[in-house]
Amino acid sequence: MPGQHNDQTLILADVGRKALVQVEALVVDLLGSNERSAEVAHLLASGVWTHDHPLMAAELERLGLPIRIGVPVEERLLMDLYPQPRGREAAVEYVPQRPVIPGAPPGRDTRRRDAQAARG
């Protein structure tokens, strides 16, 4: 690899390569060892989709994967033991407040100072 690289970068690249090999091997093992399973395993492990992209039934069928719609009763009973919160919390919360002038003492009326600056 040309150029200078941080040791951390080289370590992460090595771990990433190993992870891809491990994921592909696991998928091939789950699907059965054949040419098509190797192609699908590479497709699933190579970053075509983000980690949070749900693969829908139609996409899975196009990939040739066996699908089953619905959740068996035993799995549903297990899932009921661990209820999940509804909805998502916002990653960022907006809290309205008066504008702050960098370096101004706390409590200073920023609107008055802004108006004086505008008049020149």
Q: How far is CA 111 from CA 94, 107, 117, in A?
A: 20, 11, 10
Whether 68 and 61 have beta carbons less than 8 Å apart is answered as no
pTM, rounded to two decimals = 0.51
Whether 45 and 25 have beta carbons less than 8 Å apart is answered as no
In this prediction, residue 6 carries a pLDDT of 81
Per-residue tens of pLDDT for the chain, all 120 residues: 567 778 898 899 999 999 999 999 999 999 888 888 999 999 988 888 888 899 999 999 999 888 889 989 999 999 999 988 777 777 777 777 776 667 766 665 555 555 566 666
In this prediction, residue 5 carries a pLDDT of 74
In this prediction, residue 119 carries a pLDDT of 67
> How do the domains of the chain map onto residue ranges?
7-68
